[in-house]
Amino acid sequence: MSQQISMMRAAAPKLEIFANALRATWRELAASEESMAAQFQTHRFTGTDDDRTAAVSWIGDRIVPTPAIDRVMLTNGTMNSILLLSSSLVGPGNVILAEELTFPIVYTLTEIAGAAVQGVEIDDLGIRPDDFEKKCQQFKPKAVYLNCTVHSPTAYVTPTERRVQIAEIARRYGVHILEDEAQALYLENAPKSFATIAPDITWYMMGLSKYLSLGVRVAYVVAPSANALNSVLEKFRPLTTWHPAPILANIVTRWIEIGTAQKLLAAVRGEVHRRQLVAQELLKHLVGFRSSHGIHFWLEAPPGVASTEFSKAIGEAGVIVRPSQLYSGAKEPRLQGVRPGVGEPSSIEEMRRAVDLMREVYERLHRPKRSAA
């Protein structure tokens, strides 16, 4: 058997333009008369004014009106942002709601914070307003975590109208919205963010790792207000574990200021689009396939096949993918499928081989079901 192709992670494709930008930056820093030493002699607490100005520029029109920089902080990644917010806004013994399939690490982070995750049923547009309200009444949650602009794993994008409904319910029950826009910048015309629709109750997060490279551990958090941000930070001010590394924050800010980050994003978006076209070409006839403009797609398992069985069969054929079981915590998922990431294959050709193998597995598992019918 040939070496397996990994489509396990939702990651930006590895492009030479990123390596070239990094090499150029190292040369510029080495040749510069500016001393970097001072930046290593202090913590980058919440980020410098330049960092936060760059953050606002990068987020762009995802938040309207443009937030003041005193509402913005830098962290060393979205995971740390979620831990920070779940610890302070939710806390021990309380509940945070999330889509019934959600970013797996949310379960781990909320457990560390002493809180519990309860899932809200989803449909093709996102969390269902009726079930969200029911869960608000039942569990009295402190917050809801939403990853609905290219949802992981099912790849839906919640439209503005549904977001308005969710925001109204959240405000009615005093629920904070933790909005994670890990892939929003891949979309040409994304719906309005919750931070635009309901800025008074939304904590907005955008990491850079899924846009530039997995190792770019910098994320931006925009709070409802400067006072709200300071209130959260008061508890965590002595801790330094969530601060971004100075050299990385410096490079990211520099790249945004001179347009390098935007060029990298454009290159990644172009490659992702080409890869998604391959998936559409080979899988569009399969029931339960959902493409996206982001770095993964969703493939529902054939009827009667569990997600773990489906992913195992795909793995045995030579492709590693994540089953929906990983996104449902300890519960058996109501929706059975896999989430292949398009960025991990080394090339379009490898991507095509991987998706073709997936198609063959799907059709093999599906055929007996159709025959029995």
pLDDT of residue 44 exceeding 90, the answer is: no
Domain count, the chain: 2
**Strands, E, within the chain: which ranges?**
5-6, 72-75, 95-99, 116-120, 122-123, 126-127, 143-146, 176-180, 202-207, 219-222, 289-290, 298-300, 319-320, 322-323, 337-339
Token representation of residue 109? 């982070």
Residue written as tokens 């391959």?
278
Q: How confident is the model at residue 189 (pLDDT cuts 50, 70, 90)?
A: very high
355 and 277, same structural domain?
yes
Domain final residue pick, 240, 260, 280: 260
296 and 234, same structural domain?
no
Q: Is residue 63 part of a domain?
A: yes
Q: Is residue 222 part of a domain?
A: yes
84 vs 115: CA distance, rounded Å? 12
Q: Is residue 26 part of a domain?
A: no
From 117, 121, 89, select the one nearest 235 (Cα to Cα): 89
Range of the domain at 147: 33-260
Angle 292-298-302 (CA atoms, 0-180°, nearest 5)?
145
**Per-residue pLDDT at 205:** 98
Cis omega (within 30 of 0) for bond into 153: yes
125 and 104, same structural domain?
yes
254 and 276, same structural domain?
no
Q: Is residue 178 part of a domain?
A: yes
Q: Is residue 27 part of a domain?
A: no
Q: Is residue 109 part of a domain?
A: yes
Burial 174-192 (b: 16+ CB within 10 A, else e): ebbbbbbbbbbbbbeebbb
Q: Is residue 318 part of a domain?
A: yes
Is residue 331 classed exposed, middle or buried when 0-12, 13-18 and 19+ CB atoms within 10 A define those classes?
A: exposed
350 vs 222: CA distance, rounded Å? 38
pLDDT tens for residues 61-116? 999 999 999 999 999 999 999 999 999 999 999 999 999 999 999 999 999 999 99
CATH number at 299 reads: 3.90.1150.10
